[in-house]
Chain A
Amino acid sequence: MARWRDRRRQRAVVKTQVAKNKKQPGVDQVTGGKIPKSFVFARGKLPGPLKQLELDLRKLMLPYTALKLKEKKRNNLKDFLNVAGPMGVTHFLMISNPKSIPYLRVARTPQGPTLTFQIKEYALAADIAKSQPKYRCTPELFKNSPLIVLSGFGGGGQHLKLTTIMFQNIFPAIDINSVKLSSCQRIVLLNYNAEERLIDFRHYSIRLQPVGVSKRIRRIVQTHQVPDLRNLQDVSEFLTKAGYGSESEGDDEAATVSLPTDVDRVNKASNKSAVRLQEIGPRLTLRLVKVEEGLCSGNVIFDEFDTSSVYSVEKETDREAAEDSEKETSEDEPADSAED
């Protein structure tokens, strides 16, 4: 019957729509390495806010992701894998909500390891936009991929090392010699809180403002708009009335840099500019729960909550220290890791 045949054919379809006119490069022109691309999708049914979070994450991963990825209910992981191969997709970010606990899984496609994070708290980009008086988010911000900075991940534990490497490789590499400063417009910060074992995930937009220039003068140079002088008697009033610099002029020296090249009309080379971060995009608090060897399959080599396992956090650092100091097999471990 026609209907039955159609249904069978529909099963294996995963529609993806990438920007029609441009073909995304597979290899970075500058660095010569492969550009990592990602798919962000949901597994199972998600409630409203989580769906919005998925869209926010997709926007975050632009430009090297499928923005309008459409998935059907019957698509399973194999279908995504089949599509990912020819398109050169290297990472999957999967959001799921089993038993009303949101999880985020970051996996490397062909056979790669899977890191499962439990999302303890999250804030959507729309909420952050409403909470700020002057929210600035243009689509141009998303034409280049963000920079990434990880902090606090150095202290011990293979799982932290794996997390750093995983996140470092989600975004393409930057070639220092040839990168344009004006193309670094977003930044993702990951901070590891060692006491609570939580990872804070933040997403900011970067703006450079020249230091020592009043707001009015800067605005004239930037926008080339003639200011309104009708209430003033003299041009000197215009210059001195400018509020003596912006409110946050008194920043520490740490936040100012001297630029190596011109960035735009106002920020010129070897002049001091202040780096201003404004938060856009979602805010997440994650806890690493599980690391599996395969793509959502394979051995579990790290399990947060399983205290009997060898690979839990506290025991690991003790164990490694003991092992390295004595170079013997440690005494106090159970024989097997947890196997599902």
Chain B
Amino acid sequence: MGKKRAVGADEPTTTSPLDLKTLIREHSLFFDQLVELIPARFFLPNSSSDKPWFPGLSKSQKKNVKAQTRENILKSRRDRLDPTRPTSTLDLLKKSMDEERDSSSDEEDDEDEAVEEEEEEEEKEVVKAQSMALSTDERPVTYEELRERLRRRIEELSAGRNTRPESKLKQERKKEMKNKKKVKVQTKRNQENNKEKEDTSAGNTGKRKRDDGNDANISKNNKKKNKVEEPTDITYGQVRIDGKENKKRKKKLCKEKELERAKRLEEVKKDPEKGKKVSWKAAVSKAAGEKVHDDPKLLKQSIKREKKRQEKNKQKWRERKETVAKAKAEKQSKRSENIKERIHQKKMRKIEKREKKLMRPGFEGRNEA
């Protein structure tokens, strides 16, 4: 307030009173905005609360004071977020000024203050309108309303957009191709039906595949929705559905039989159409990972290897038997040797004992009694 008066006093006297007023208003707005920038606790004199002095208090007093401070904190937080109470520095300033005015009995510039109060209020509103864009009137806009607005806007935008024109073109083209092929297959099928033969043509199976959209042993990718019509046939990578796989295992023929079979197959391969079928079948199962034994050379090699292995094993067994027998014989002979020795020693000992009695001095070297 003092500042305003000072500013008003410093203005040059040539300006008319109306310009002066606008000038003053602008300046005051500017200063108001400056004041707004400063947080309230620094700007306003802290007259309300005395500085709390904690160290010298007793325990119960300290507890009370702490509870009080907690409450103060909560209260100030609630007040901060309460939209109806004034929080900006200007408002607090105004509030403090009102309190001052009320407390002091009479002042000289009461009228001026009243006028300035009104001016302040107007300016404050202008400032508020300028600074805040949205909030004031529609305070309780609910969450649902916001969401609704969002949805509407999205729909608006998406309606205006043409999503994926290329795929649409492609779909049309593919439909045309499909129709053409359908017509072809239809005519073929009619012919076949006329001849009363089963139709297992490649085109038919292809069509069937297109209808199904997936193979028998491959299930759908769990990410794509099933109800979407797929324009072309799509096959996915390998997927295991059930825990146990084929319980049936292929019969394993012994190698000689396989060799004969392989030789036969080779003969068949020379034949054009059947051979082709056989080769394709073999290639497909090889690509799928199953082992196909149809090369007679390799089979011969493996038969040879197996024979060698068997020979080696036989040899080893023979040697083992030999060594076992040899060891056994050795041990037995040693044993019998030892036994003989023992008996012999026993006899010798007995003789010695007998002879010892007759070893008198003067009668050594006597054999017979």
Contact = CB atoms under 8 A, between A and B. Distances in A.
Contacts of A112: 286-287
Nearest to A112: B286
15 contacts: A90-B289, A112-B286, A151-B232, A151-B233, A156-B203, A157-B202, A168-B235, A171-B237, A172-B238, A176-B239, A299-B269, A321-B201, A324-B200, A325-B195, A325-B201
A336 B272 contact: yes
B287 A156 contact: no
Interface stretch (A93-101, A129-137, A242-250): A242-250
A2 interface: no
B141 A236 contact: yes
Interface string A96-131: 000000000000101111000000000000000000
Contact of A250 (B132, B157, B210, B225): B157
Contact of B228 (A36, A162, A254, A311): A254
Contacts of B157: 244, 249-250
Identify whether the interface residues of A are mostly helix, strand, loop, or mixed.
Answer: loop
B221 A149 contact: yes
Interface stretch (A7-15, A27-35, A66-74): A27-35
Interface stretch (B95-103, B108-116, B273-281, B327-335): B273-281
A243 to B, nearest CB: 9
A165 B202 contact: no
A214 interface: yes
Sort chain A's interface into a size bin.
35 or more
B340 to A, nearest CB: 59
A295 B192 CA distance: 40
Nearest to B282: A293
A233 B134 contact: yes
Interface stretch (B55-63, B146-154, B306-314): B146-154
A249 B283 contact: no
Given A113-B286, A154-B210, A156-B203, A162 B280 contact: yes
A306 B103 CA distance: 111
B203 A321 contact: yes
Contacts of A169: 238, 287-289
B152 to A, nearest CB: 9
A226 interface: no
Sort chain B's interface into a size bin.
35 or more
B259 to A, nearest CB: 16
Interface in B167-218: 177, 181, 188, 191-192, 195, 197, 199-203, 205-206, 209-210
Interface in A261-281: 275
B358 interface: no
B150 A240 contact: yes
B144 to A, nearest CB: 13
Interface string B237-271: 11111010100000000000000000000000100
Interface of A: 30-34, 36, 90, 108, 110-113, 147-158, 161-162, 164-166, 168-169, 171-177, 179, 181, 184, 194, 214, 233-234, 236-237, 239-240, 244-245, 249-252, 254, 257, 260, 275, 291, 293, 299, 301, 310-311, 317, 320-321, 323-327, 329-330, 333, 335-337
Interface stretch (B19-27, B28-36, B119-127, B158-166): B158-166
B308 to A, nearest CB: 20
B335 to A, nearest CB: 51
Given A194-B177, A233-B133, A250-B154, 15 more contacts: A34-B289, A113-B283, A148-B237, A149-B234, A151-B235, A154-B209, A155-B209, A156-B203, A165-B287, A166-B287, A237-B134, A239-B146, A244-B154, A325-B188, A327-B197
B66 to A, nearest CB: 30
Given A239-B146, A245-B150, A113 B287 contact: yes
Contact of B233 (A110, A154, A311, A326): A154
Nearest to B237: A148
Given A151-B232, A321-B201, A173 B279 contact: no
B224 interface: yes
B186 to A, nearest CB: 14
B223 interface: yes
B140 to A, nearest CB: 11
A158 B280 CA distance: 7
B279 A293 contact: yes
Contacts of A311: 276
A34 B287 CA distance: 14
B284 interface: yes
Nearest to A239: B146
A126 to B, nearest CB: 25
A249 B158 contact: yes
Nearest to A179: B222
Going nearest first, the 3 A-B pairs with the smallest beta carbon separation are A250-B158, A154-B233, A173-B238
A219 B238 CA distance: 35
B237 A333 contact: no
Nearest to B223: A257
A95 to B, nearest CB: 20
